Amino acid sequence: MTSVRTLFKPSPPNQLVCDVTLREMPDGSWVFVMLGGGPTEPHPDNRVFLSRSPDQGATWTSLQELDFGLGDAAQVVSHLMILGDRATLFVQSHNGGFGGWRAWMVHSDDLCHTWGPPEPMPGFLAERTFIRPQIRTRDGRVLLPWQHYRHGDADATDLKDGRFFHVARDSRNGVLISDDGGASWAIHGDIRLSDDPAYHAWAEPTIVELSDGRIAMLIRADGRGCLYRADSLDGGLTWPDFAEPTDIPNPGSKATLLGLPDGRMALLHNPSVQGRRPLSLWISDDDMRTWGHQQVLVEESLDGPNSGLGLSYPDGFVSRDGRTIHFVFDDNRHRAVYVAVELP
């Protein structure tokens, strides 16, 4: 059974809803985080907003704007990581057009009620970097996938002339690895989709551990019509120089892998070459060699067929009993939609 309902539709109706995230806290409450504030992304008015539910999604608090002490900078949120009793938001700041792009970690030790000061990401990841959802391997390590751009323009502001692509060139991907529960991190990988340094890819990598300990990474490859894949044969320490195309169709949109408690892998994505619709759940029981279960969860935007940017950025978690995936997605960039799907 699948349940679909609108979670948030901000007022005014043209306010952005983007980069939505849903997490379960250690006390069983749920936290929803999103990017919003301006009419588009990017925009100088964009900030990070949070809501919480004490009753597993039945009721929600009003959206609260979070203040990380980053001044008037535009802000983006790409991931909320829960490790034990500590929550970490991965936030990016820029000048409204991804000029002066910086990447930060912000920690909370009280279930996302208060936040410490922003800390820069380690090494070169402190600039032009997004962090994506982590996994914990069977040997207890934490792996965080990252997408980084080697080149960008510090003063870029106007995206109408295509300068957005000038601030995100030469896409590279990899993982951060921690063997001490997130206290320290080591950078691994330098995966490319192209040998052209001008190539732009909003890569949004997603990872899962396979049954033999390999780490599989799927990467959005804009303009290629499919997801790309790279595997690490040694648990994330080393990676190939280039990712390879898969037979999983993708229109240029974020996909999310989830490892299931029974060893299967779930993939939330848009299995289409053009257009971010439908939103589907695929499940593999053979380490992603095949996807035996393919289920459409949402066929069209709640705004109707062929509406805007469609069904984007699915993100969530597997219930503690392993029976249900709870996730949110942004519908046409102005509505957050919650989905609960029982696993077959």
Indicate the domain borders of the chain.
2-342
Q: How many residues does the chain have?
A: 344
As a whole number, mean pLDDT of residues 118-142 equals: 98
> How many other C-beta atoms can be found within 10 angstroms of the C-beta atom of residue 298?
20
Write down the pLDDT at residue 153.
Answer: 86
The pLDDT of residue 292 is 97
Whole-number pLDDT of residue 306: 65
Write the pLDDT tens digit of every residue in 179-211. 999 999 999 999 999 999 988 889 999 999 999
Kindly tell me if the per-residue pLDDT of 230 is higher than 80: yes
Reported as a single tens digit per residue, the pLDDT across 164-184 is: 778 899 999 999 999 999 999
Instruction: Check: pTM over 0.95? Answer yes or no.
Output: yes
Asked if residue 249 has pLDDT above 90, the reply is yes
Average confidence (pLDDT) over 285-314: 91
How much is the average pLDDT of 50-75?
96
Phi/psi class of residue 273: alpha, beta or left (left: φ > 0; alpha: ψ in -120 to 50)? Answer: alpha
**pLDDT at site 10:** 81
Average pLDDT of 8-24?
88
pLDDT at 304 over 80: no
150-162: average pLDDT: 81
Q: Region 24-34: what's the mean pLDDT?
A: 98
How much is the average pLDDT of 36-57? 94
CB neighbour list of residue 63: distance below 8 Å, 6 or more residues apart: 8, 10, 34, 36, 49, 50, 51
- Give CA–CA dist 226/124, Å, rounded: 28
Which long-range CB contacts under 8 A does 31-36 form with residues at least 24 apart? 31/80, 31/87, 31/111, 31/112, 32/7, 32/8, 32/60, 32/328, 32/336, 33/77, 33/80, 33/89, 34/8, 34/63, 34/77, 34/330, 34/336, 35/75, 35/76, 35/77, 36/10, 36/63
Task: Compute the average pLDDT of residues 240-250.
Answer: 98
pLDDT band of residue 290 (cuts 50, 70, 90) is very high
Mean per-residue pLDDT over the chain, rounded: 95
Helix (H/G/I), strand (E/B), else coil: 333: coil
Output the six-digit token pair for 190: 């330098």
Q: What pLDDT score does 167 carry?
A: 87
Instruction: Provide the 8-state DSSP code for 302.
Output: T
Residue 81, pLDDT > 90, answer yes
Fold of 2-342: Neuraminidase (2.120.10)
Tens of pLDDT, residues 321-341 = 999 999 999 999 989 999 999
**pLDDT confidence band for 143 (50 / 70 / 90):** very high
